[in-house]
Amino acid sequence: MQPGRGRGAMSVLAIGGRRAVGKRALHGGLFGRVLGGLYLGHGRVEAAMDAALRLRSAGVPTPEVIAAGWRQVTRPFFALALLTEEIAGQSLHERLVACADRPHGRRMLLKAAGEAVRRMHDAGFVHADLNLANLVVEAGSGVPRVHIVDLDGGRFVPVPRERAALGNLRRLLRSWEKFIAPRTRADTRDLAAFLRGYTGDAGERRRLAAALVRYRSRLWARRIAWRWTA
């Protein structure tokens, strides 16, 4: 299974015996209500295809793009679609829920996720919506291997990695706090496992841990809202 972040209509296809995921791009939030799947030009889908090529060449585990397409709906608006290989496995969200009562397995997954995110950030890429559903754990591997999916809307940035990355890590932490923390007796060792995979520099780990713990302490209002909307 290769889930996306919900900003597109997704289909699983078989092409020449090869399983693939087709997804039409849709706006989220307020733009989604107004524009739906209409985009100015087709640069966005071309950028997603280019990002996948660049990241894969840099050794970042992300699905291969099979095809990208667009159709003019009305001048100057286009409908966009992307076809990528399917990664056989489950989202990190699903795997973490399945091992909620197995701390060792959970921390192995988190360390592997940290390694994948580190590779992405070292390549200079900032994901538009880094959450637990957009990290896919490959099936059948003894040591967890995590792939980063749904690159649409992400960007390459010419700034130091730690500055560019912190927003991504905060978004990922929000996903954890919303979907995993209420289900398991998580503690700071889970964050430590992720950061061990993310960086081998002890000083950087301490700085990031302190920043993320501070950020977590400010999520109390969101937690109340999440409980009410659960």
The 10s digit of each residue's pLDDT in 113-135 is: 999 999 999 999 999 999 999 99
In a domain, 145, yes or no: yes
Residues 56, 131 within the same domain: no
pLDDT tens for residues 168-181?
999 999 999 999 99
| Residues 90, 93: Cα–Cα separation, whole Å | 8
Q: How far is CA 137 from the centre of its chain?
A: 12
Helix (H, G, I), strand (E, B) or coil at 88: coil
187: pLDDT confidence band, cut at 50, 70 and 90? confident
Residues 78, 100 within the same domain: no
pLDDT tens for residues 39-57?
998 999 999 999 999 999 9
Residues 23-52: what's their mean pLDDT?
Answer: 85
Amino acid identity at 40? L
Q: Is 173 left (phi over 0), alpha (psi -120 to 50) or beta?
A: alpha
Single residue among 85, 112, 137 that ends a domain in this structure = 85
Is the peptide bond between 76 and the residue preceding it cis, with omega within 30 degrees of 0? yes
pLDDT tens for residues 81-92?
999 999 999 999
Q: Torsion over CA of 159, 198, 83 and 98, rounded to 10 degrees? A: -150
In a domain, 1, yes or no: no
Domains identified in the chain, total number? 2
Helix, strand, coil shares, percent, the chain, to 5: 50, 20, 30
* Phi, psi (degrees; rounded to nearest 5) at 46: -65, -35
Residues 219, 126 within the same domain: yes
Dihedral sign, CA of 164, 166, 167, 172?
positive
> Where in the sequence is the domain holding 97, given as residue range(s)?
89-229
CATH classification of the domain holding 36: 3.30.200
pTM of the model: 0.89
